[in-house]
Amino acid sequence: MAAAGSSHSIVEYFGGESGYHCGYCKNETGNLSHGMWAHSMTVQDYQDLIDRGWRRSGKYVYKPIMNQTCCPQYTIRCQALHFQTSKSHKKVLKKMLKFISQGDVVKVASEEEPMDSHIEDAVACDFAYKSESRVSQSELTPLNVDHTERVENEDKDTGEIKEEVNAQQVESGSLQICADKGAPAPGEPSQSAKIVHAPPKPGKGADLSKPPCRKAKDIRKERKLQKLQNQMCTLEGSQHQAGDQVLLLQNSKSKSNQPKTMEDFIFASLPDDARHKLEFTRFLCDSPLEAENAPNGPECGYGSFHQQYWLDGKIIAVGVIDILPYCVSSVYLYYDPDYSFLSLGVYSALREIAFTRQLHEKAPDLCFYYMGFYIHSCPKMRYKGQYRPSDLLCPETYVWTPIEQCLPLLEHSKYCRFNQDMKAVDEGRIKELGRVKVLHKRTMMPYSVYKKRRKGPSDEASVQQYASLVGQSCSERMLLFRS
């Protein structure tokens, strides 16, 4: 036995048999969860707790009773290293860049971000997202977002459409295609494609002295074949030179055709005459999580951080994240409603995923982005499933399951066991109740010792419930306060 130090988590367990108001379905008594108050908590303990379905709101840590609560809340995480931005995500990033550089964004809130319009119950906690940058103060900057690629594609499409129209006119006999650019017809000099109007023929019917009309399909095939033969001849004449040119062309095309990454949008460069300036600051905030530093950890350390968004010197949003050993966990975001047209919920989530990737470079184990709870029974809370690839936590075995496998199950039942191996059990379950650590009279001791000293009615049922919910590892590290 020893005196309790600051390196231990200290919690008070409250149970959770009575129901309370649900912020999702508005049921007055249907929201059921277990809860405990965290006087202090290490980042490793909290990491292990959220991997067992717990979530914090300030210093209150709670775990929904999944098979009883009206709206089951499944822990969701995004695989940040493999995250791919969707079209709607890129739309938000482009909108922010356009606003900063030009200041001419239509000020209409996006319909695709329920996280900005739906405020969850305070106890249910994670009502929105927030954001972060890799440096304490950095400017967002614009990018020519796929403009060149878009124009090229439009030109190609236009060319194909014109070719089809001309081909149809050829079939009707009103036009004749003599040559294509770069592919001269037999007996004709190389020249740009030219369209010749054929003179009307006297009499009725086809002119039998002329060859029969050819199908446009056959004409196109012939042109392509002729063009390929010309290219082969050129390659044979100057093999090395042509090979180098082809290689450069392929490399150029491959680079220009690569889709823009999230970082390309977020960390692009602004022009000198940008209309706005967006900055970020990050600093530790009050939280039950104890700030920690580790040799292989992120430079900013572990713990809870405030994120502030400053637009032209005015703060427009503030959020909180928890930086933990294996993840960045989003807690909440609040913002100036005058700037809701910037879709700050979506934008900050994307910045946070990018921040997770940056932290991973220094802390290799940190590679996930936790988005709180996914609530399939509440349509407004399904947006979190749009950040792919992502996983949901099985509420019985606490193993991660790809969300694509979970959604069909949730369509049939709001409560589901995602692990389809019926023999699988909770590997972290409590095995020895006597080894649970407790704090009694400022002294920590195993529950087996405390139990012998305790006077009054037994509290074994409550301790058993607590230990089964936090798991064997946490129960042996955290100190359960006993009066």
Return the pLDDT at 220: 80
| Residue 243 domain flag | no
Centroid of chain to Cα 284: 24
Give the integer Cα–Cα distance in Å for 119 and 201. 76
Provide the residue range defining the domain that includes 467: 2-70+429-482
Handedness of CA 251, 254, 259, 261 (dihedral sign): negative
Instruction: Name the domain boundary from 386, 412, 438.
Output: 412
Name the amino acid, one letter, at 388: R
| Residue 369 domain flag | yes
Give the integer Cα–Cα distance in Å for 214 and 191. 22
Is there a single domain that holds both residue 268 and residue 127?
yes
| Residue 454 domain flag | yes
Bridge partners of 175, per DSSP, are 197
Is there a single domain that holds both residue 382 and residue 363?
yes
Look at residues 73, 6, 72, 8 and name the one whose alpha carbon lies nearest to residue 45: 8
Q: Return the SS3 of 402.
A: strand
| Residue 157 domain flag | no
Give the integer Cα–Cα distance in Å for 347 and 128. 11
Return the pLDDT at 351: 93
Q: What are the Cα distances from residue 330, in Å, to 144, 162, 198, 327, 355?
A: 30, 51, 70, 10, 12
Return the pLDDT at 292: 96
CB atoms within 10 A of CB 474: 28
The answer to whether residues 246 and 252 touch, using CB atoms and an 8 Å cutoff, is: no
Tell me how many degrees the CA angle 6-11-13 measures, rounded to the nearest 5. Answer: 170
Tally of structural domains, the chain: 2
Return the pLDDT at 251: 56
Return the pLDDT at 202: 53
Is there a single domain that holds both residue 64 and residue 87?
no
DSSP classification of residue 135: S
Is there a single domain that holds both residue 316 and residue 396?
yes
Enumerate residue ranges in the chain where pLDDT < 50. 4-5, 111-198, 200
Q: Under the phi-then-psi rule, with left for phi > 0, alpha for psi from -120 to 50, and beta for the rest, what region is 222?
A: alpha
Q: 278-332: per-residue pLDDT in tens? A: 999 988 999 999 999 999 999 999 999 999 999 999 999 998 999 999 999 999 9
Is there a single domain that holds both residue 331 and residue 401?
yes
Q: Average per-residue pLDDT in the chain? A: 79
Instruction: Name the domain boundary from 383, 412, 441.
Output: 412
Give the integer Cα–Cα distance in Å for 390 and 190. 56
The answer to whether residues 138 and 279 touch, using CB atoms and an 8 Å cutoff, is: yes
The answer to whether residues 8 and 40 touch, using CB atoms and an 8 Å cutoff, is: yes
Q: Which long-range contacts (CB under 8 A, 24 or more apart) does 290-295 make?
A: 290/6, 290/7, 290/40, 290/41, 290/42, 290/43, 292/42, 292/43, 294/363
| Residue 37 domain flag | yes
Give the integer Cα–Cα distance in Å for 115 and 144. 28
Return the pLDDT at 102: 92
Return the pLDDT at 236: 56
Return the pLDDT at 213: 66
